[in-house]
Structure 1
Amino acid sequence: MDKDHGRVEERIYTALRPQEVLDESQYEPWRNMSSLVQVERLVTFSDGTERRDKQYYLSSLPAEAVERIGTYIRGHWGIENRLHWHLDVTFREDHCRARKAYAAQNLNTIRKLALAIVSQRKDKLSIRKRLFTADLNIDYLKELLEI
């Protein structure tokens, strides 16, 4: 259970062995998969409204390791959300007006590369301040790029 941002989120993880839920013809292409995982989420907002949803995952971990699978799923989304937060807030990606051909996709790739490079530096500056400093100071930029 998580309590954050004015909501309470509960998750129920259920993991099954694929051969328990699939018939032989369905199971054959997935023979190397160890478990099917269902995540049932109930989100209760501060105004009392609720939202339910289900997500499904395929895992190479055994169904008996459902707690560990849940930890990995939650960790993955934490990483994913932090990435998107930086893209949206630091790089203002949502305000990008590039729409033609592959421009938006190419810019997204460049932003992710820049974020990866800047994130490797271990100093006390925030990501935004590192980018700002690199923009103003060519020596700092060279350090980041290891030139």
Structure 2
Amino acid sequence: MEERFYLTSMRNHAALILRTSRLHWGIENQLHWVLDVVFDDDASKVKNRIAAQNWVMVRQMAAHLLRREGTGKGSLASKQFRATMDLPFLEAVLTLR
């Protein structure tokens, strides 16, 4: 069993604190899952700590841009693949609208 301790100035709001914590970790876990499954982040061979942090940031930005792409068709992995093969689609993903 794991225990976590949180410091807060909120009093008598255990249910709210628990819900907020679970929401945060749900979002965090979803992002890590996407980075690992879609971008194969865990298999990265980058050893330099700063370079590894930079690549994680690039992958996070790529995930955000692919999610933001307007057609809504396909998974992030399929959009990533399509962007490698279809220059107009890549331009649409990278263009701020």
Shift of 1:101: 5.0
* Aligned counterpart, 1:105: 53
**Higher RCO, 1 vs 2 (CA within 8 Å, ≥6 residues apart):** 2
Greater fraction of residues in strand: 1
Helix, strand or coil: the match of 1:87? helix
In the alignment, is the contact (CA less than 8 A) between 2:84 and 2:90 conserved in 1?
yes
* Aligned counterpart, 1:28: none
In the alignment, is the contact (CA less than 8 A) between 2:69 and 2:92 conserved in 1?
no
Instruction: Map Cα deviations across residues 14-51 of structure 1 (whole Å, 9 max, x no partner).
Output: xxxxxxxxxxxxxxxxxxxxxxxxxxxxxxxxxxxxxx
Shift of 1:82: 0.5
Q: Which amino acid aligns with 2:91?
A: K
Looking at structure 1, the residues matched to 48 and 3 of structure 2 have their Cα atoms a distance apart, in angstroms, of: 34
Q: Which amino acid aligns with 2:74?
A: L
Shift of 1:142: 1.1
Q: For structure 1, which runs of at least 5 residues remain unmatched after alignment?
A: 1-51
Looking at structure 2, the residues matched to 59 and 125 of structure 1 have their Cα atoms a distance apart, in angstroms, of: 41
Greater fraction of residues in helix: 2
Identity %: 33
Pair 1:91 & 2:18 matched: no
Aligned residue pairs, count: 95
* Aligned counterpart, 1:136: 85
Change (3 A) 1:66 1:119: same
Shift of 1:102: 1.9
Pair 1:69 & 2:12 matched: no
TM-score, scaled relative to structure 2: 0.87
Q: For structure 2, which runs of at least 5 residues remain unmatched after alignment?
A: none
Pair 1:80 & 2:45 matched: no
Larger radius of gyration: 1
* Aligned counterpart, 2:75: 126
